[in-house]
Amino acid sequence: MIKDEDVFWVDKVLSGDKNAYARLIEKHEDMVYTLVRRILKQNEESEDITQMVFIKAYQALGNFNKKSLFSTWLNRIAYNTAISEYRMIKNKIYLLDEQQIQNLSVSVADENHSDEKEAQLQLLEKNLQKLEPEDNALISFYYIQNLHIDQISEITNLSPSNVKIRLFRIRKKLHEWMFKETNAYTTAL
């Protein structure tokens, strides 16, 4: 069993203290929302799915075996729930006509910023939005939540080497996209 302060609160919930779950929600709601938002790319849906994740986790709390961190277990629930929701949304989008799809796409304003770093961050965020949800989740786990490869592997059911390879490929893809857009922008000037 891994030493995890969340286990204390899990045990309290399982022993009948329903209010103890609020502590777990408070501690992990930002982490879950960030992951769900990265996958779904929609604020309203992300809030609803975040709530759904905590409901599912509460209902499955008795299945938490304490062999991993509670946050890893919760991330797995969030990841699977968000990916399932994304697939449902994606199937609905296929039913829309071409014009509606163009209206749904996320656009980032091409403003002329004097601050190059801000422009690079916006370009990076724009390109992150192009990633598949699974890839976006991997980036979120590794760079935002600072999870170890083994934790990401446990959450996603990918082998550690596969996680490393996918992260490498994602970084390479982002670099290529950013390089192309940067060169296209400077060529246009």
Q: What is the CATH number of the domain that holds 86?
A: 1.10.1740.10
Same domain for 98 and 113? no
- Residue 99 scores a pLDDT above 90: no
Q: What is the pLDDT of residues 113-128, one digit of tens each?
A: 345 667 777 777 787 8
- For the entire predicted model, the pTM comes to 0.61
Q: Say how far apart CA 97 and CA 50 lie, in whole Å.
A: 29
Residue 162: pLDDT above 80?
yes
Q: Tell me the pLDDT of the chain averaged across its residues.
A: 80
- Mean of pLDDT values over 28-50: 89
Question: Same structural domain for residues 62 and 81?
Answer: yes
Residue 92: pLDDT band with limits 50, 70, 90: low
- Of 69-73, 155-159, 174-178, which range is least confident? 174-178
CATH code, 176: 1.10.10.10
Question: Both 141 and 166 in a single domain?
Answer: yes
40 and 84 both lie in a single domain: yes
Q: How far is CA 156 from CA 40, 127, 141, 184, in A?
A: 16, 22, 10, 36
Same domain, residue pair 130 and 86: no
Instruction: Please tell me whether residues 142 and 157 are part of one structural domain.
Output: yes
Question: Are both 97 and 163 inside the same structural domain?
Answer: no
| Co-location of 99 and 132 in the same domain | no
Task: Label residue 87 by pLDDT band (50, 70, 90).
Answer: confident
What's the rounded Cα separation, in Å, for the pair 29 and 50? 8
Q: Are residues 5 and 81 in the same domain?
A: yes
Number of domains in the chain: 2
Burial of 114 (0-12, 13-18, 19+ CB in 10 A): exposed
Q: Hey, how many other C-beta atoms are within 10 angstroms of the C-beta on 89?
A: 15
- Same domain assignment for residues 55 and 28: yes
How much is the pLDDT for 102?
41
Rg (CA), the chain: 19
Indicate whether 63 and 124 sit together in one domain. no
* Residues 6 or more apart in contact with residue 145 via CB below 8 angstroms: 31, 34, 35, 75
Burial (0-12, 13-18, 19+ Cβ within 10 Å), 152: buried
Residue-range definition of the domain harbouring residue 135: 106-189
143 & 168 share domain? yes
Mean pLDDT over 147-161 rounds to 91
